[in-house]
Amino acid sequence: MPKDSHLLSTIPVGPLGIIAMDSCTELGQRVDFYLAKWRAERQFSEKNTIAFNGYCKDSYLVKNHCPRFASGEAKGELLESVRGKDVYLMVDVTNYSIEYSMYGKKCPMSPDDHYSDLKRIIAAVAGKARQITVIMPFLYESRQHKRSGRESLDCAMGLQELTSLGVDNIITFDAHDPRVQMAIPKHGFENIRPTYQFLKALLKSTPDLELSKEHLMVISPDEGAMNRAIYFANVLGVDVGMFYKRRDYSRVVNGRNPIVAHEFLGDSVEGKDVIIIDDMISSGESMIDVARQLKNRKAKRVFAVSTFGLFTNGLEDFDKAKEDGTIEKVITTNLTYRSKELLERDWYITADMSKYIALLIDHLNHDVSISDILDPNDRITDRINEYRQSHTIRENY
């Protein structure tokens, strides 16, 4: 059980309620499991007082549904009361596995559909909740966060729309550009990087990793990912390198300027294990191209680490990259939908975020500071020291 004595110095904001949308069912169930387990194990004298009414339950999940009419229109329904509750809404806008019928045809849900259903459920809450926090791991429209011409500012508009509907706080992970929070300066916005969970997954799955400058290096695949690469390299105590993308700005292909080449800046990677870290794997072309160039520079093994594994072009390119030795392993979180085929790949590893999200919810429900769990430096140092002694790590938070 996590260290929680500080939680018991405050009473909950309200009875806890977790609304896991259909797109986030599996993750929501795992978060709910940890919360129910921890609270059942807590022993304190005020546990049976009115202030802690409903504190210990078998489940905090609130049943909800978004049925659709034959025309494709929908409505949001809550199947139980949320009056006075501290509500946490979980949604994965990238989950393409859910389909609905429209005019007799099956349509996969798009990010726009998931976002609309989120608004429908918030509307169904109808202001009855004590507080509403949206946990949206992949921030909706986060790639459209700035205006480069006559363009819409979708991410900023989405955040403003959610707060106008009554959302008090928004929690997201590895936002493409967290400065978009300036669109809602009077509301809570937490942008969390899963560095600790990446490290755990990497160390548990790779017992022969040498954590030293002579044997390991962290690489940013582009200039946009440089900050997270520097942070990851610093906590590991190794060097960092960077690729920058040369693009053809005279053309637009699939909504973006095509990459002409990746140019490398950094020390030699010859004979070293290399970790490429980025916020997302979309098609994967860029990640594989960077890995291939690193292997051409005689890197030993290449580990691809990314918060969101979307794999929009399928898994075949990564299968080939594993087969020819270009990539050793790919690590992504379970914050977005992962297909059964992906989970069966021997090159894929999951960095589980469910326990961490449960910890965040537990703290926020008690209205206590989360700064100690947002800063993972001490935990990272403990895991690194443990790994250097035994080349493995125990399960921990």
Digit-coded pLDDT (tens) for 92-125: 999 999 999 999 899 999 999 999 999 999 999 9
Which pLDDT score is estimated for 397? 52
Mean predicted confidence (pLDDT) in 128-149: 93
Q: Is the pLDDT of residue 316 over 60?
A: yes
Using CA atoms, how far apart are residues 143 and 176, in angstroms rounded to an integer?
6
Task: Give 1's pLDDT tier (boundaries 50, 70, 90).
Answer: very low
80: DSSP letter: S
User: Which tens digits make up the pLDDT trace of 187-201?
Assistant: 999 999 999 999 999
The residue length of the chain stands at: 397
Q: Is the pLDDT of residue 2 over 60?
A: no
Which pLDDT score is estimated for 391? 74
Between 95 and 251, the higher pLDDT residue? 95
Q: What angle do CA 245, 251, 256 make, to 5 degrees?
A: 60
Q: Is the pLDDT of residue 365 over 70?
A: yes
Q: Lowest-confidence range among 90-104, 170-184, 250-264, 361-375?
A: 250-264
Report the relative pairing of strands 64-65 and 77-78 from DSSP bridges.
antiparallel
Which pLDDT score is estimated for 149? 83
Q: Is the pLDDT of residue 396 over 80?
A: no
308: DSSP letter: E
Using CA atoms, how far apart are residues 334 and 307, in angstroms rounded to an integer?
9
Find out whether 333 and 351 touch, Cβ atoms under 8 Å. yes
Mean predicted confidence (pLDDT) in 148-169: 94
User: Minimal CA–CA distance to 231: which of 182, 279, 291, 181?
Assistant: 279
List 256's β-bridge partners, or say none: 253
Which pLDDT score is estimated for 352? 96
Buried b (16+ CB within 10 A) or exposed e, 214-234: eebbbbbbbeebbebbebbbe
377 — phi, psi (to 5°)? -55, -45
What average pLDDT is seen over the chain? 91
List 304's β-bridge partners, or say none: 276, 330
Q: Residue 318, by phi and psi: left (phi above 0), alpha (psi -120 to 50) or beta?
A: alpha
pTM exceeds 0.75: yes
Q: Is the pLDDT of residue 165 over 50?
A: yes
Please provide the distance, in angstroms rounded to a whole number, between the alpha carbons at the two ends of the chain. Answer: 9
Could you give the C-alpha distances from 61 to 33, 57, 130, in angstroms and in order? 10, 10, 16
3-class secondary-structure state, position 333: strand
Task: Give 174's pLDDT tier (boundaries 50, 70, 90).
Answer: very high
Using CA atoms, how far apart are residues 130 and 85, in angstroms rounded to an integer?
5
CB proximity list for 234: less than 8 A, separation 6 or greater: none
